[in-house]
């Protein structure tokens, strides 16, 4: 059964590499969805069932659909985007590889962690996570709603068309209702 972990790990890493390497943004999105589904598989193996469901709903269901929606809305599916210069790309790969080596070197003598706690089948179920969320972490939970409100307002402000008068355009200043009133 341990082989399930390695299968999911291989799927995660291969699809993550494909996200970076794919020419078309649509292919990148599909690869990233595969990667997220395999990570949800990891969560289920860790008995974090609440996280697995929330991960699938939030990431695969909402965020990736948002990415796909933006790609199709802006018609970005061109595979002929300009590439960075070869030197920059080689430098990027080297930077990632050196970063990985640094992380691995930091833990090469073991991570010095306590032995695993006794197995408790209820950790990760909705009940235990929910009790923890609404007792110990109640304030961050409420603050995160303010974060969402500000994100929503920010997205609307950024996304709406700029209807302010444009002094450089010359001639009549167009206002928002000019077309419908005339």
Partner 1 sequence: MNDIVTVIRSVPLEHYVFLSFTLFSIGLAGALFRRNTIIILMCLELMFNSVNLLLAAFSAHHGDPGGQVFVFFIMLVAAAEVTVGLAILVMMKRNVDSIDINQLNRLKW
Site for partner 1 in 87-106 (CB under 8 A): 88-89, 91-93, 95-97, 99-100, 103-104
Q: Does 164 bind partner 1 (CB under 8 A)?
A: no
Long-range contacts (CB closer than 8 Å, 24 or more residues apart) made by 11-16? 11/35, 11/38, 12/38, 12/39, 12/42
DSSP 95-152: HHHHHHHHHHHHTTT----PPPPPP-TTTTSHHHHHHHHHHTTHHHHHHHHHHHHHHH
* Pairwise CA distance, residues 23 & 79, whole Å: 5
Give least dist CB 11 to partner 1, A: 11
Tokens (6 digits) for 53: 């469901």
Nearer to partner 1 among residue 70 and residue 178 (C-beta): 70
166: number of Cβ within 10 Å: 10
Q: Does 30 bind partner 1 (CB under 8 A)?
A: no
Query: Which span (21-29, 163-171, 172-180) binds partner 1, by CB under 8 A?
Result: 21-29
Residue numbers 116-135 binding partner 1 by CB under 8 A: 116-121, 123-124, 128-129, 131-133
Give least dist CB 32 to partner 1, A: 5
Nearer to partner 1 among residue 120 and residue 175 (C-beta): 120
Give least dist CB 182 to partner 1, A: 25
């Amino acid at each position: 059964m341990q082989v399930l972990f390695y299968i999911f790990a291989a799927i995660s890493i291969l699809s993550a590499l494909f996200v970076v390497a794919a020419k078309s943004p649509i292919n990148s999105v599909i690869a990233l969805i595969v990667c997220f589904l395999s990570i949800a598989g990891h969560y289920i193996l860790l008995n974090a069932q609440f996280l697995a469901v929330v991960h699938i709903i939030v990431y695969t269901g909402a965020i990736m659909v948002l990415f796909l929606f933006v790609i199709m809305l802006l018609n970005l599916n061109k595979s002929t985007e300009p590439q960075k210069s070869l030197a920059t790309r080689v430098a990027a790969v080297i930077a990632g590889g050196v970063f990985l080596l640094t992380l691995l070197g930091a833990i090469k003598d073991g991570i010095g962690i306590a032995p695993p706690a006794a197995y408790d089948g209820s950790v990760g179920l909705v009940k235990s996570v929910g009790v923890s969320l609404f007792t110990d972490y109640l304030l961050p939970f409420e603050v995160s709603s303010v974060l969402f409100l500000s994100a929503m307002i920010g997205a609307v402000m950024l996304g709406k068309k700029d209807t302010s008068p444009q002094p450089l355009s010359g001639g009549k200043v167009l206002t928002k209702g000019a077309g419908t009133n005339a």
